[in-house]
């Protein structure tokens, strides 16, 4: 009687491959997630800059700063020449609304900020204009 040889992988070989893939994933994943966080910060900075430009244009046209960012889309002011944003006020990359304060922080006329990934006002990851 002739033994037939079975083609395939043994359980040990499959486990070794799974362990190697797990190790590779644990090395690569943190690097990828840090790049995602970095791109979200850059997106927030870009959106804050866009909102800052819209607020300054509103002020030039009306002679005052908007009460809220929503006023950049619709206002009853007689010299309003908007809308100053092509769409509704965006959310920050973490899904939270941007915070607008007038007067702003540090004696500035206004401040626009994102509370960043933590969503906390007093955290170190706050992004501001």
> Residue 5 pLDDT > 80, yes or no?
no
Spatial separation of the C-alpha atoms in residues 105 and 113, rounded to whole Å: 10
Instruction: Provide the pLDDT confidence category of residue 127 given band limits of 50, 70 and 90.
Output: confident
What is the pTM assigned to this prediction?
0.70
In the sheet that holds 111-114, the strands lie side by side as: 99-101, 111-114, 127-128
Instruction: Provide the pLDDT confidence category of residue 2 given band limits of 50, 70 and 90.
Output: low
Cβ-Cβ contacts under 8 Å for 114 (sequence gap 6 or more)? 44, 47, 48, 92, 93, 94, 96, 98, 99, 126, 127, 128
> Residue 22 pLDDT > 90, yes or no?
no
pLDDT for 14: 84
Spatial separation of the C-alpha atoms in residues 26 and 30, rounded to whole Å: 7
Q: What is the mean pLDDT of the chain?
A: 86
Q: Which CATH architecture has domain 36-128?
A: 2-Layer Sandwich (3.30)
Inter-residue contact 100 to 58 (CB < 8 Å): no
Domain ranges of the chain: 36-128
pLDDT digits (tens, 9 = 90+) for 89-102: 999 999 999 999 98
- Stretch 87-116: mean pLDDT: 91
pLDDT for 70: 92
């Amino acid at each position: 009687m002739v033994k037939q040889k079975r083609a395939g992988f043994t359980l040990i070989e499959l486990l070794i491959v799974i362990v190697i893939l797990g190790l590779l994933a644990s090395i690569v994943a943190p690097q990828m997630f840090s790049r995602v966080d970095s791109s979200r910060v850059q997106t927030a900075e870009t959106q804050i800059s866009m909102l800052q430009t819209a607020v300054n244009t509103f002020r030039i046209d009306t002679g005052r700063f908007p009460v809220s960012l929503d006023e950049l889309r619709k206002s009853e002011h007689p010299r309003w020449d908007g809308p100053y944003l092509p769409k509704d006020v965006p959310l920050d990359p973490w899904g939270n609304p941007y915070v607008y304060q007038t007067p702003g922080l540090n004696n500035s006329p206004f401040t626009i900020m994102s509370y960043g990934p933590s969503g906390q006002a007093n955290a170190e990851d706050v992004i501001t204009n």
